[in-house]
Each structure stands twice: as C-alpha cells, then as structure tokens.
Structure 1
C-alpha cells in the first residue's frame, strides 16, 4: 500500500487514533445507552424488575460478549488485508464471518434458554423474579443473530477506518430504543406493562432494525463496495483462520466480562437492594469503559493496518501513542466519577436503600476504571499482531485466578470477611462481600495489564531485531 493511502502515514499517530476513535466512542456509548435506558427505566418500574433485568443482563452479556469476541477476529484479519492492499481478500473474509456469526448465534441462543442453570449461582431467587429473567432471556435469544451479524459489519468498518456510518446507525437506534422501551416496559396502546421482559422485547426489535440499516449501508457506500463484499460458501480453511484467532479473543472477552456477570450472580445473595446497587455500578463501569475500548480498538486497527503494510515503525508509534491516550482518558474519567457520584446515582434510581448502597460501592469506581483501561489497551494492541492465545492465558491467570476466584474465596467462600478491614478502609460503609469482589477484580485487572504490557514489550523487541 502506498503512503498516500495509509491512514497513519502523514498525520501524528495520536491524531489519527483520535480521528478513528471518536466515531467508535459515540457508537459504543450509543450501544451502552441501551443498557442505561433499561436500567434507569426498569428501575422505575419495580425493584423486582430491576433485579430480574440485572440478573438477565449479566447472563446475556456473558454469552454475547464471548461470541462477539470471536466475530471480532475479523478486525485484525481485514485490517491487515486492507493495509496490504488486498481488498478482495478483505471482502471474502467478511463473507466467512457471516457464516461464523450464524453458527455462533445458534449456540449462544441455546444457552440463553436455560436460565435456571445460571441462576443456581445466585442462591434463592424469588419465583416472580425468576419468571421475569426467563422471559427477558427469550427475547434476547431471538435478538442474538441480528446482534452478531451487525458485528461483522461493525468489524469491517473498524478495520478499514470507516466508522462514521456505523456511528450514525447506533445513534439513530437510541430514539427507537427509547420509544419501544416506553411502550413495552410501561404498557400502552393495548399492551400491558411488561417491565424487564418489555426491555428485552424492545432490544429485539431495535437490533433487527439496526441490522437492516447496516446491510443497506454496505451495499450503497463506496468504501464498502470497493471490498467486493460477498457471501460465498463457507470455506474450512478460512473458518479455521477465524477460529484460530477468534476463539482466544472470545475467551479473553469472556474472561473480562465474567467478573461482572458472576459478581452480579454472587452479590445477589446479599439481597434485592445490594443487587440493584451492584447493577448501577456495573452499568457505570461499562459506560466508562467505552472510552478506553474505543481508543484501544482504533489503535489496534491502525496498528494492524501498519503491520499488513510491513511498516513496523509506524505500528510501534501507533501502539505507544494509544497507550498514552488511554492512560490520559482514564485519569480524566476518574475525576468525573469522583465529582459526579451523587448526581449519577440519582439518575439511576428512586429507591433510597439502593442509592445509599450504590454510593458506597462507587468509591472504587475511579481506581477500578484505570485498571480496566490499561488492561484493555494491552489486550487490543497484541490482537493487532494476531496474538491472542498468550493474552488469553495471561488473562485467565490474572482475572480468573486472582480476581474472580480470589474475590469469591475472600468475599463469599471459605475466607469470607478476611478483607473486611481493607474494604472498610477503601470503601467505607460498603457491604463486605460486594466490596471484596470489586477490590479483587481490580487487583486482577492490574496484574493482567502488567503481564500484557510485558508481552507487548517482547513483541516490540522482536520487531526491532527483525527490522
């Protein structure tokens, strides 16, 4: 690929990253606003509906994010093809991703239809809450194919640095989500109020509308037509290449989200109000995560393009610039979380008991977010080099071993209460079990970030020796 066509050839790397990251950020915030709307609106329906949505969302996110990670193997694959000028191969990779997304949809949808297996981790759950969780997950199982198919379009747009069109679709979907939420959650025009189940049905309708808009976009926009996107027969060699990269990536995504999902299921043992407060904090952390994720995704796609163009120096500059931007963004986000915590909680709930507990949990948010952000950029940069298995091993060790298992052991397991003095110091007034889970999850993220950066340094040294 010539210098003129290479996205990072002339502009400063940080400026190129920001130019690609801001539409990804807006798209990501638009997507996470779905969850914010669900939490805020269902929270005004009833405490039982809020708990049901909290538990159901945790289950769905566990399934969806793992499968989305597999589909996102398209990003480095298509980006390296694009960087090398292999446009036809990039279009063929998208078609193979469609088949993969359909297979994963069938597998993931089946997992969502058996909520009792998941809810067994939460101890005693009221029958009416359990029924709401089941209905919510049925709606999301039907939404899953459209969500994963849209992710193939999202991955392609990100890989070729054309993210504004996807941003427009995501932003436009917010209005439809708000409209259908109002209708299905609270009832009207002949429909009864459906609470948490209504939120799931609204997501189902909007996801299929987004897929239709995405398919129209790739048929009519010049940048996508240039790739000659085509849905050919599934080819085992291409599927193996996707799975070889995608399965470790999906595993990494799954490990990252399992902390939230299993934390929600375990913390549900502390009761209705603690579970609702946990959902507010988890939702806020997810919303904050969109900034480092967007910067990391832009950094990874531009780095992968440079790798495909056989420009290791540019790839290095992109990676290091991305790390600096993510660190700066995490510090600024932390300052906002500290200054605005009371206003944030008021926006989420009218329940006094839930709000009081949420404020105690939010004390960990700035420090957790910084750890999360640095872990994020470390993982994404390695994926740009098609390195996914080693990060998965590192993340399993840190996030699962130290974070999740350690949090359960010290929060609800045999050593429950062992960190009581630490939790009282770092999160005064917070429930000990919930606070322990969050502190250990933060420690796991910090360890994972350090390990990932150490491996990235190894990659850079190898690139330097081979240059």
Structure 2
C-alpha cells in the first residue's frame, strides 16, 4: 500500500466498512421499528433479546479482530502464506468455539433468562427470540472471520455487497415473517429472529462465493488442515483472547445496564431500546475508521514504521469525529420525527427525547476514544487494551449501581454514563499511546 496513512487511503479502507455499518444500522432500525409496531412489551423484550445475541457475536468479533491484527502484520511483512496459516488455524478454532457456545445457549438460556428478567412476559419473549436467533451464529461468525481477512489485506469492497444484500433481504423477511405478508405465516416477535438467521446464511454464502471466485483459497492457502498447529493456535489465542474478554465484558456490562433499566419498568426499557438503536446509528463512522486504524497500525508495525502510527491515529480521529459530528448536527433538529419512526406513542416520544440528546454527547466523545483504543489493539498489545477496557467497565458498573441504588436515578441519568465511559477511554488510551512501550510489541 502506497502512502498508507493518507486521508485518502484511510477512507479507501474505511468506507466499505462504514457502508456495511450503515446497512447493519438500517437493519437494526427496521428490526426495532417492526417490533415496535407489535407493542411496547415486544419493544422492551427486543432490547434484551438483541443484546444477548449481540454480546455473543461481539465476543466472536473479538476473536476475529485478534486474527485480523495478526494477518495485517503478516501483510505488512509481505508474508502471504503466513496469512493463510493464521486463517486456517482461526477457522478450525472458531468452529470449535461456536459449537460450544451454540450448545451452551440452547441448553442454558431458558432458565438463565427466567432468573435474570423480573417480568415474566418479557422473559418468555426473550427466551423464544434467543432460541431461534442463535441458529445464525455459525453463519455470522464465519462472515466475521472472512471480513477480518479482507480488512487485514486492505480489500474491503466486497463487504459492501455482502452487507447490503444481507440487510435488504432482512428488511423484506422482517416485514413478511413478523406480519405474515408475501404469502408467509405471521410469526410475530420471533419472526424478526427468523429473518435475521436466513439473512446471515445468505450473507455467508455471498462472501464464501466471492472468496472462491477470486481464488483466494489458493493465493493465500486458506483453510488448510495441515496448517493446524498448536503453536499457531497458541499465538492466535495470545492476541485474540484478551480481545474476546474485552468484548465480553463490554457488552455484558451493557446487558447488565439494561437489566437494571428493566427493573425501572417496561417504559424505561422501551425508551432504552429506541436509544440503543439511535446510538448505534451515530456510531456508524466510528466502526469503519476504527477497523481501518486497527489494521493499518498493525501493517505499519509489520513494516517497522513506528513513527507514522501517531500521525495515522490523529488523522483517523479527525475523520471519525467529523463523521459523527455531521450525523449529530443533521439529525438534532428532527429528533421528534426520527423517534416517531419507532413508536406512535406521544408520551414515549417525549420521554425518549432527553435521553437521545445525552447519548449524542457520548457518541461525539466516543468518536475519538474508540479510535485510540483500536490503535492500541492494532499494536498487538491486546492484553493492555483489555486492562484499560476492564478498568473503564468496572467504573461504569460502579457508577450505575450508585446512581440506581443510592440516588434513584432516572433513565436519562443512566444513559449519561456513556459519556463518562467514552471520556475515560479517550484519556487512558491517549496516555498509553504517548507514554506506553507499544513499539516493542512483537506479533
């Protein structure tokens, strides 16, 4: 890659990921809109059901990002066969991980959800949703692994076709399976889970077909059983396991927050589901620039061009901040109408407005903090990144506990914690990039 830290090259890698994030955001919004039309109970249950699956898939994403870091490093070192070795070991290891998770969820989820969720009706809906949604785990997990390969090798355009097709199909299937349209039965709330599973299957077929068509299995020696070595598995787990733990703790903490909010009442949980959807929308530019930064940092370190890493981080931060700030500015005057897409309840819209405004501030700070965090991960210091994230999450949970138990905070105050979380991440990550010994990390 020439001039790898130019604004143009960062954008070239990031924009297909951003478009993919836009597609996923549209999916998230339409899912919530469709479910919201079923009623406030379903809207509340959707928040927890999606978060359970999202927590699982983000742990898998942590594993694939760990492999992305290694593959990007090998790409920078111009060692394509080593990329194949990493991918092959990751492929077989991921299959084992997903199988264990799938079986565990199928067996343990019903009783666990009943014990965690206080409202019986919500617990029943969440349990039914998860039992169907978990079938998509295999397809989603391997899509993420192939995605990591394409991001690591700076070949991200295929992600546009994969995510756009997946999301377009999901919207159609949501409409058909939830409400019984297009000649299909009406499955109601569970129909949303069915639609997502089918869409993920199609997305996996597309990215697999693209890989076969371009002969990447041959060019990079992908998925070779003879490459499966315990030494390489150990190297993968050394980098990937802190990322998996970081994602588990991060999204588990969000799930804990939603459980706390659930005890505030059905209305508060419904508000939070809408806010979560809009928060993810405001985060769209961040994901693309963060993943591009992660891969480019590892690439630069593979070339041993350490002095260019801070320049890359600053430029990525500027691009990320500009994208989020633009979304916030454009959407702020129309918040009432935007929330109206999710519900026709005037009281629910009025109660959601102040929470969304709080989250807007958090998203602006996160546009800087998450870039710095993913830069640290890109250096290969994933254990350090995990430690920084863990300290942030610990303070996040403690603050949530104090606000709810001792100060009887409302849902708006609860969501203000996101601003604290983002600010803390930004400060500690910048301090580490300035004073830490990340240049010495060998992957």
- TM-score, normalised with respect to structure 1: 0.88
Q: Paired residue for 2:420, among 443, 446, 450?
A: 443
1:179 aligned residue: 172
Would you identify which runs of 4 or more consecutive aligned residues in structure 1 move more than 4 Å?
Answer: 222-225, 461-464
Q: Paired residue for 1:165, among 151, 155, 158?
A: 158
- Cα distance in structure 1, aligned partners of 2:281 and 2:224: 34
Q: Is the 8 A contact 1:184 1:192 kept in 2?
A: yes
| Matched position secondary structure for 2:416 | helix
Task: Map 1:120-131 onto structure 2 (within 5 A).
Answer: 120-123=115-118, 125-127=119-121, 129-131=122-124
Residue 342 (structure 1) aligned with residue 336 (structure 2): yes
Cα 1:433–1:235 change in 2 (3 A) is farther
Cα 1:191–1:462 change in 2 (3 A) is closer
- TM-score, normalised with respect to structure 2: 0.93
Give the unaligned 5+ runs of structure 2: none
Cα 1:225–1:333 change in 2 (3 A) is farther
How far the C-alpha of 1:294 sits from its partner, in A, is 0.8
- Cα distance in structure 2, aligned partners of 1:397 and 1:90: 33
2:58 aligned residue: 65
- Cα distance in structure 2, aligned partners of 1:314 and 1:160: 19
1:326 aligned residue: 320
- Cα distance in structure 1, aligned partners of 2:377 and 2:390: 16
Cα 1:48–1:231 change in 2 (3 A) is farther
With a CA cutoff of 8 Å and minimum separation of 6, indicate the structure with the bigger relative contact order.
2
1:365 aligned residue: 359
1:206 aligned residue: 199
Q: Paired residue for 2:138, among 126, 145, 152?
A: 145
Q: Is the 8 A contact 2:289 2:316 kept in 1?
A: yes
Cα 1:381–1:294 change in 2 (3 A) is same
1:154 aligned residue: 147
How far the C-alpha of 1:223 sits from its partner, in A, is 6.2
Q: Is the 8 A contact 2:379 2:438 kept in 1?
A: no
Residue 246 (structure 1) aligned with residue 237 (structure 2): no
- Cα distance in structure 2, aligned partners of 1:386 and 1:110: 31
- Cα distance in structure 2, aligned partners of 1:380 and 1:59: 23
Q: Is the 8 A contact 1:21 1:295 kept in 2?
A: yes
How far the C-alpha of 1:463 sits from its partner, in A, is 4.2
Q: Is the 8 A contact 2:313 2:372 kept in 1?
A: no
1:109 aligned residue: 102
Q: Is the 8 A contact 2:136 2:201 kept in 1?
A: yes
1:416 aligned residue: 407
How well do the aligned residues superpose, as a CA RMSD in angstroms? 2.1
Task: Map 1:452-467 onto structure 2 (within 5 A).
Answer: 452-459=429-436, 463=439
Q: Paired residue for 1:317, among 308, 311, 318?
A: 311
How far the C-alpha of 1:224 sits from its partner, in A, is 6.5
1:401 aligned residue: 394
1:90 aligned residue: 83
